[in-house]
Structure 1
Amino acid sequence: MHSTDTAAFDNQRLAWFEATVNRLNPQRLQRLLADLIDVHSPTGAAGAASQFMAARLNELGMTTRYLPMSDISGNVLAERRGTGGGAAVMLYSPIDTHLEGNGEDDPWIGPPHFVDLKPQSKIVGDWVYGLGASNPKALVATLTEVAAALIEADVPLVGDLMLGFADGGMPVSISERGNAGMSNGVNHLLNRGGAADFAIIMKPWNFVYHEEPGIAWFKLRILGTYGYAGVPRGTPGFRSSIVPTAVVIPELESWLVDYAERNASGVVKPHGWIGGIRSGTPDKPAFPSAVTEIFFDARINPRTSPAAVKAQFAEFVSNFSSRHPEITLDWEMYGSAPGGTTDPENWIIQSARRGWEAVEGQPHPECPPLGGQTDGAALRRFGVPTARIGWPWPPTGSPEPIAEGLGGMGATYIPDLMPCARKIAFTLIDTLTRRRDELGLP
């Protein structure tokens, strides 16, 4: 294994790196990003976007395959082979957006009129707006631009350059589209020829991460009886499922905060948030529901199993019930995916950090704790050592008003992406121009 102080980036590699950087074209990246935004790709329906990118990658001279998962969903896998004897490195990004981009999102996303929530692109100077403009579509466009520059610079590759873009990368489960989400696309891609020795996933935050959390989804049910607005309070046989929720939520919120502290490990701090509450229907307000559901997502550090998190939550419910015997609870874990980690001394992590340091001109700092889940966890679980490389996010100084909070992750300032592109180019040249034994590979 290697550290940031070894495996020198010699003068020849420096010349290849400079030639590649000189061919990075922010205007081309911006145009591709805008075009990709205009190909709507909600989770489970990103087939058209993957086909669009397959055509673009083919134009770069890469051998490209579209991998369908359904009539409307699919992935793209592209390859540029080296001379042989080197490593296969995959640049990876999901391609689906977390929102539908239509009335189905309302009113849950807040005011819907902001430009970053619309599945249509808008260019203002160096800015690009539209649903998914920063995440995930800026990732797809940036990785493609890096590949284009590397190919145009005619860097003599020993290893194989791969690009993989997959549907289903969002932490959602879309039942009407085959339960798409939760990394179903990258699993499909890896099972159908996406074999790589190393991977680089681009995601927000200007650091190199070697691990990412998993997810656990829970439903907590408060049980009562089916009621009627005309029944007086205290009537025997009637009890609300809704009112006790005001007692449950503060204690659950406190448990989630404590859970994150207790389960912090490595560079992961596994936060959790209550995602929603469901009870009754607006067209029957006279009949309070017998069940109120609270559903939430708790992240999982890579050294804790979903089963262990399940046991922790079971203990919380047991303790709560002993203190509140008047409240009847039921619960289930209805979704989970483990976290994933790569040895921080692995070649790809150390090479990515060398690239970060070369571009930033300073030592790589200690990474802030991470709670965001990506397909990088799945790549690592499949045995692919993976480096996560990012850029400063969220962007600042937008000339257009954008939605508060997470919004549509749809505002990107192109100059912010270019340092990340250079770091990835460095890592590719550092890795793809070496033989396997130099990389610690059999």
Structure 2
Amino acid sequence: MSPIENTVVCADEGTFREEVRTWLSEHLAGEWGALRGIGRSGGAERAYAERRAWNRHLAEHGWTCLGWPVEHGGRGLSLAHQAIFHEEYARADAPETVNHLGEQLLGPTLIELGTAEQKARFLPPIRAVDELWCQGYSEPGAGSDLAAVSTRAVLDRGTGDQAADTEGEWVIDGQKVWTSWARESDWMFVLARTERGSSRHHGLSFLLVPLDQDGVEVRPIKQITGGSEFNEVFFSGARTPASMVVGEVGDGWRVAMTLLGLERGVSVLGQQVGFARELGDLVELARSNGALDDPVLRDRLAAQRAELEVMRVNAVRSLTEKTPGADNVAKLVWAAWHRRLGELAMEVRGADSLTARGDDGDLDRWQRLFLFSRADTIYGGSDEIQRTILAERVLGLPKEPRP
């Protein structure tokens, strides 16, 4: 019997927390123990193959897709139990997983909106970490303003008498950018314009596209951290079966928003435990090098701690209360907090923070944190877009004029 089939949901959250903590303690040892802390804040490319193997190890023992329904290979755990897992995973300093987009975003979207055939085809390899996914949303002219997508897909029914919408192939042309992990991924979920002459939120479809084909070119983007976890992806006559549309043709905006609504779920609690670990380590560094004796720095570090506690309370509340705009406020707050942490790290390090190690310009964790966190207020929806959404959709203020 597999670990999934043998799983019984534990009603006692304390018992479940101890189960997670014990398992991680026993398994994050030996070769796995060397992966602790790897993959965060600008280090997503480090030990990628080893982290994927670890992610498969989690799957084999029933620690992936915890919230998925049992009939789809998950464990059907409650939000509280999922939050406990993410908290304990972060506390154990376990490595960043490689399957977030498939497990946390696409999988639940397919469970809610996908066809029976799509679920049968894609959910098992996502759960087993056999197929990896990337997200095809942003474009050079459609970043935070996602409704400006211009990548196009045309249905080619071939030369036969095909009439059904599920027959033939979509032919895709366009470009996506800032695509995380595209080089490592097998598939991409793509928001494309499938209705000629449509604009903004109308005429879009949500397509599932294989990346291993001649019509797809992936180019890495060199980042200031030295890595290239982001990529440009070019489609030139790329193809995917007509049946690879999630939801209805032309209803892609609703599907895309459903997926984005999952992006800031229970894993955000684990993210904040990770933030707390970073802050704690920075305080220890400040204590060891004397920076904590500076009353201004000491006060700023204390303020970071207080703000982190407020963020956690708001995160817990947002999981149980559907407050309009809560996700947007949370993104604004944590992004600014993390950028300030990166800046504080440089001040705690002092003059040494300006010099890379060795001749190859290798960065330490604090330099990577500082450089990578500059993008926190941009990716996943820039601060400006978050504020516009809050102003127009939550507060009901007049909309900005559009060209």
TM-score (norm 2): 0.25
Compare the two structures and name the one with the higher strand fraction.
Answer: 1
Q: Which of 1 and 2 has greater Rg?
A: 1
Considering Cα pairs closer than 8 Å and 6+ residues apart, tell me whether 1 or 2 has the greater RCO.
1
TM-score (norm 1): 0.23
Compare the two structures and name the one with the higher helix fraction.
Answer: 2
